[in-house]
Amino acid sequence: MLEALQAMGSVVLDPFLLLLIFATTIIGVVIGVLPGIGATTGAALLLPFTLTMSPVHAITVLSTIYVSATFAGSITAILINTPGTSAAAATTFDGYPLAQRGEAGRALGIAVVSSTVGGIFSVIVLCIAAPMLARVAYHFRPPEYFALTLFGLSMLASISSGGAIKNLIGGVFGVWVSTIGAEPTTGIERFMFGNYDLYEGLSFVPVFIGLFAMSELLVQSKIANQLTSTIGMKAVKLPSREDYKRIWKTILRSCGIGTFIGILPAEGATVASMIGYAEARRWSKNKEEFGKGSIEGIAGAEAANNAATGGAMVPTMVLGIPGSGTTAIILVGLMVHGLRPGPYLFTEQVDKVYQIFGAMILANIMFLVMGLYAAKIFARISLVPISLLWPIVFAFAVVGSYSLSSALMDVWIVLIFGVIGFFARRHGFAVAPIAVGFILGEMVETNLQNSLKMFDGQWWMILTQPLAVLFLVLAVLGLCGPMIFDLLIRRQKHNGDSSNS
C-alpha cells in the first residue's frame, strides 16, 4: 500500500506530467463545453497524438480528457440549456431554470463541487477495488475470459439509448469487423478481397476516429446555422453553508450510485447521471423544486456522472472490458502502449497504474479551480460557429489517422467508418456498441481458440468451469431478463384482471 501511495505522489514531482495534466484539463474542458464533441470524440481525436508519449503520459492524457470533459458538459447545460456531453443531460433539468432565475454562478458552483467530490471518490474506490478484483481475475483462464467477454457483449443491450436490439446488432457488426484480416492461428484470409494492407486486420485508432469523430462531424453538419441563447453571469461562486447542508447527502448517495453504475461493463456516465438525478428526487424533502431549479437535482446528476468515470476504469483495467465508450478508447491506448489490461497489469506495472490514478485525482482538482474561476470564459467557446469548428475537427481526424503509420489506407478507414457511423446514427443505431464489439471480438476469438486447445477441441468442457458458467448465466439473464420480467408482470396483471372479473 505504501508503494502505491508513493507512486501516486510521484505525479506531483514530475513537472512535465503536471504541465501535461494542466494543458489536457484545459483541452478537456474546451471539448466538454462544445456541444456535440464530448469526451469520447475528444479522446478519439487525441489518441493518435499520444502514441509517441510514454505509457503513463499517454493514458494520463486520455483519462484527464475523460474526467474534465465529463464535468465541462455541465457548463453549457446550465448556461445555454445544451449539454456539452450526454452525461450532462440531466443537469439541464434544474441547472438551466436556476440560471434563468439569475443564479447561474450558484448552479455552476454546485456542479463543479459535486463533480469534483464524485470524481475523487470514484478514483479512491478504483484504487481499493481494482487490486482486489485483480487478485480474483489472476486465477482466470481462457474459458473464464471467454465467458466474461460474452457477458460484456451481452451488456451492449444497455450501453446506449438506441434500443436493445439495435445495440446488439451494432455489437455483432463490431465483432464482424474485428475478424477482417488473416486468422491468427491458420493465416486464412478473411474479408480482405485481395487487399494485403488489411492482412493484420483493421487498426483500432482510425476505426475509432471514424466512428466517433467523423460521424459526429457529419451529424453536426445538419445544424450548422443553429443559434443558441445564453444566460448572463457575473461570476461563479461556491455554494453557501446552507447549500452544503442540503446537498451533502445527495452527493454521497450519487457518488455510490455513479461508481457502481460505472463499474458495470457497458454502462457509463449518462446512465449514472439519470439514476443519480432520479434518486435525488426520490429522497428529497423538496420534490416540488425539481425541474424548476433544484440544487439537489444538479448535485445528484453531476456527482453521479463524474463518479462513473473512475468506476468505469475498474473493468477496463482489470478485466479488459470497457465500462463506457470513452474507456473503450482508453483501453486501446493501454493496448497500443503495451500495458496489457488484466490482473498482470497490477503485478507487473503497478507503479504506472497508480501514477495514472494519481493523475486522475489531480485532474479532478484542476477542473475544480478552472470551473470556479474560468467557467465564464470557457462558456464563450460554445458560441464558436459550427461552420468553423468542424473543419478543424476534420483536419485533426485526417492528420491523426495518417500519422499513425503514414498510410493513406488509415485515412480511407476513417472516412469509411465515418460514413458507416453517420448512417448508423441516422437510423437509430448508436456507434458505441460497434466500437465495444470491435474490441471484444478479438478477445472472444482468441480466448475461444485457447479454450479449445485446453480441452482438445471439446467445447462443452467450458461448461464444467464454475466461473465460466456463472458469467454465461449472467449473459443470458442480461439478454433475456427484461423480457422474462415483462412477461411475468403481464401474466400477473392478466391473472389479477381475471380474478376481479
With 70 as the cut, is the pLDDT of residue 97 above it?
Answer: yes
What pLDDT score was predicted for residue 222?
66
Q: What percentage of the chain has pLDDT greater than the value 90? A: 2
- If you ran DSSP here, which 8-state letter would residue 194 be given? T
Query: 489 pLDDT exceeds 80?
Result: no
Is residue 15 over pLDDT 70? yes
Split at pLDDT 50, 70, 90, the class of 441 is confident
**Helix 55-79, helix 104-137: angle, nearest 10:** 150
**Domain around 11:** 2-464
Cell digits of residue 412: 480511407
In Å, the largest CA–CA distance within the chain is: 77
Of 143-152, 214-223, 252-261, the least confident: 214-223
Inform me whether the pLDDT recorded for 390 exceeds 80.
Answer: no
What is the pLDDT averaged over residues 266-279?
74
Tens digits of per-residue pLDDT, 416-431?
999 998 999 888 887 8
**Residues 218, 191, 198, 142: is their CA dihedral positive or negative?**
positive
Gap between the Cα atoms of 16 and 270, Å rounded: 32
- Provide mean pLDDT across the span 482-500: 69
3-state secondary structure 324-354: CHHHHHHHHHHHHCCCCCCCCHHHHCHHHHH
Tell whether the torsion through CA atoms of 23, 29, 30 and 31 is positive or negative.
Answer: positive
Q: What confidence tier does 498 reach under pLDDT thresholds 50, 70, 90?
A: low
Structure confidence by residue, pLDDT tens digits, 393-424: 788 778 877 876 778 888 899 899 999 989 99
For residue range 290-339, what is the model confidence (pLDDT) as tens digits? 877 888 888 888 888 888 888 888 888 877 777 667 888 888 888 888 77
Residues shown for the chain = 501
Number of domains composing the chain: 1
| Residue 78, pLDDT score | 80
Any domain includes 494: no
Question: What does the H/E/C string look like for 253-298?
Answer: HHHHHHHHHHHCCCCCHHHHHHHHHHHHHHHCCCHHHCCCCCHHHH
Summarised one tens digit per residue, pLDDT across range 111-125 is 888 888 888 888 888
pLDDT band at 442 (very low <50, low <70, confident <90, very high): confident
Distance of CA 404 to the CA centre of its chain: 23
Q: What is the mean pLDDT of the chain?
A: 79
Domain annotation covers residue 323: yes
Does 448 reside within a domain? Answer: yes
pLDDT digits (tens, 9 = 90+) for 254-265: 888 888 877 775
The residues pairing with 190 across neighbouring beta strands, listed in sequence order, are: 181
Per the model's pLDDT, the better-predicted residue between 462 and 274 turns out to be 462
Residue 228 has pLDDT above 60, yes or no: no
The predicted model gives 365-371 an average pLDDT of 80
Contact assessment for residue 76 and residue 382, using Cβ atoms and an 8 Å cutoff: yes
Is 480 within a domain? no
Domain annotation covers residue 123: yes
Residue 267 has pLDDT above 60, yes or no: no
Residue 501 counted as domain residue: no
Please report the pLDDT score of residue 399 as a whole number: 81
Q: Which of 170-174, 348-352, 398-402 has the highest mean pLDDT?
A: 170-174
Task: Tell whether the model's pLDDT for residue 482 goes beyond 80.
Answer: no
pLDDT at site 416 = 92
Q: Which residues contact 439 (CB under 8 A, 6 or more apart)?
A: 174, 178, 204, 322, 328, 331, 332
Q: Is residue 258 part of a domain?
A: yes
